[in-house]
Amino acid sequence: MTKPFATVLDASTSLENKTGSWRTMRPEYVKRLPPCNVTCPAGENIQQWLSLVQEGNFYDAWLEMVKNNPFPAIMGRACYHSCEKTCNRGQFDGSVNINLIERTIGDMAISNRWKFECKISESGKKILIIGAGPSGLSAAYFLRKAGYDVTIFEKHSKVGGMMRYGVPKYRLPREIIEAEVKRITDLGVKIVLNKKVENLKEEASNYDAVYVAAGADVAVKTDINVKGNTVVIDAIDLFKKIEDGENIPSLGNRVVVYGGGNTAIDAARTALRLGAKDVKIVYRRTIHNMPAHDTEIQEALAEGIEILCLRTINSIDNDKILLDKMEYNEETSVLSKTGETESICADSVIFAIGQSIRTSMFEGIDGIVISEKGIIEIDDNMMTGANGIFAGGDIVAGKRTITHAIGFGKKASKCIDAFLKGEKFAPNVKHEVANFKKLNTEYFKGNKRVEVSRQGDISFEEKVISYSNEELLEESRRCFSCGNCFHCDNCYSYCPDNAIIKHEDGTLEFNYDYCKGCGICASECPCGAIRMTSNEKE
């Protein structure tokens, strides 16, 4: 058979001109982690499913997504896409629009009624999960796939937890939640609605393990003097009333929202949709210090919401809101009053200054520790001080986002699985990260990311944002494939010593007898998949 490549070496090749002895460094093919994968709280293999989208294999891309996250359509709407902030392409001509690609594929899966592909081998063990929110549902999904009999207790009459009761439907339509949760119940996960757990110790006795994933749905209170008939309500209570369609208060034309997080932004935008004409957000620090996501802030401003920074509410007297003006030292993070005040008028005030958890269910259980901040303490394997009771999501330390909650659920499933097998979960060793400096971007042409308009009416209807199939291909192909060879053959073409062996299946390897260690292959590699290391390895 004729050899297809001239550099394939065999025993007949002359060995008189070997150059390996000259070498002090040697190249190695490596698999580095792309920064998007590293920063995804749900642990998605983003680069892998992007490569499948590039090929037009949308169904396979969806299957790759749901290996680590059962909610692509939800994540494509509610995730704050930290992956895009670290995307190396962002330092070139704009990060890849990972979030919208995921949303489009997720919607495609719902439209085409794609189902999870998995064969379940029953373990014979039962697990109870408290809370049908993102963390509890995520854990249920992975545990059911591992063969466990999973039951979820949910205190509300509908599934979704804080995805439903903490995120307005103009951002996350309820039919999207229902569709992606149905796939999980189709696997055999049982959800008991209107089931509030009062005594966890008693409930836990009927199961082999318990995962507590109750959301932070108790509004934090503040000591502000309130007089008169101004409507005062907590954002979480408002969202619940709207969701359940019960006793929705009339907010009037002038609304003030107190807080600076995503809940405050959602509350302000919700007030507009309930008919308010003048909506202001009062926040104690500068706009750059607001914990709300920047895109949410910008969309609120675009809708006409005013943000009054360096202000705190002193008192509420009928429609008069007295504000204390503040000063904030960026270097020391010290916030203090200036002594000056300001008055604004409002028909209602919405408090969105934080959320806490309900801890009464843990009473009477030895070993469970609740910190001064009102969170449950867990060990490295997510177990509380009570054997077999695990906790995650909003009730433990960490960021309170849907994406982080899903990641908590996935990790909890692995920890519970290991526990029930008499083991301890050990995470995989991480590869080094392929940062921007490791890439050779001269290989790539500038290609601005494909944007889709987010313009729309101010209503509770979702703004339709989606890619066409052509746009999916175009945007996904902007991925640099950071850290992982995509067979461009640059190394093969530039090697001055013909020291790279190319096999018929397209894979490559180095022939160290002829490699002088010049490093040209590494410097010419577009994706940083070649590393130069000391020759002492030989």
> What ranges make up the beta strands (E) of 389-469?
389-391
Q: What is the CATH number of the domain that holds 254?
A: 3.50.50.60
Amino acid in position 252: G
Mean of pLDDT over the chain: 91
Please tell me the total count of domains within the chain: 4
* Confidence band for 50, pLDDT divided at 50, 70 and 90: very high
Which residues, listed in sequence order, are joined to residue 129 by a DSSP beta bridge?
152, 211
Tens-place pLDDT, residues 474-520 = 999 999 999 999 989 999 999 998 999 988 877 788 999 889 999 99
Domain interval for residue 166 = 126-217+357-420
Give the lowest-confidence range in 50-54, 139-143, 364-368.
364-368
How many angstroms separate the CA atoms of 104 and 472, rounded?
8
Same-domain pairing of 397 and 517: no
Q: What is the CATH number of the domain that holds 83?
A: 1.10.1060.10
Between residues 128 and 535, the one the model is more confident about? 128
Same-domain pairing of 192 and 277: no
Tens-place pLDDT, residues 246-285 = 888 899 999 999 999 999 999 999 999 999 999 999 999 9
Same-domain pairing of 342 and 269: yes
Same-domain pairing of 155 and 76: no
* pLDDT attached to residue 1: 37
Same-domain pairing of 269 and 369: no
* pLDDT attached to residue 538: 52
In the predicted model, is pLDDT for residue 395 greater than 70? yes
* pLDDT attached to residue 455: 63
Same-domain pairing of 54 and 202: no
Is residue 6, in this structure, part of any structural domain at all? no
280, 264 Cβ separation under 8 angstroms: no
Q: Which residue has the tokens 């180095």?
A: 510
Same-domain pairing of 27 and 39: no
Same-domain pairing of 317 and 341: yes
Tens-place pLDDT, residues 80-93 = 889 999 999 999 99
The mean per-residue pLDDT over the stretch 403-416 comes to 96
* Confidence band for 359, pLDDT divided at 50, 70 and 90: confident
User: Of how many residues is the chain composed?
Assistant: 538
Up-side HSE of residue 255: CA atoms within 13 Å toward CB? Answer: 29
* Confidence band for 16, pLDDT divided at 50, 70 and 90: low
Question: What are the helix (H) ranges across 252-336?
Answer: 262-273, 294-302
* pLDDT attached to residue 171: 92
Is residue 430, in this structure, part of any structural domain at all? no
* Confidence band for 217, pLDDT divided at 50, 70 and 90: confident
3-state secondary structure 319-357: CEEEEEEEEEECCCCEEEEEEEEEEEECCEEEECCCEEC
Same-domain pairing of 387 and 496: no
The residues near 83 (Cβ < 8 Å, ≥ 6 apart) are: 35, 36, 37, 39, 40, 44, 46, 98, 99
* pLDDT attached to residue 144: 98
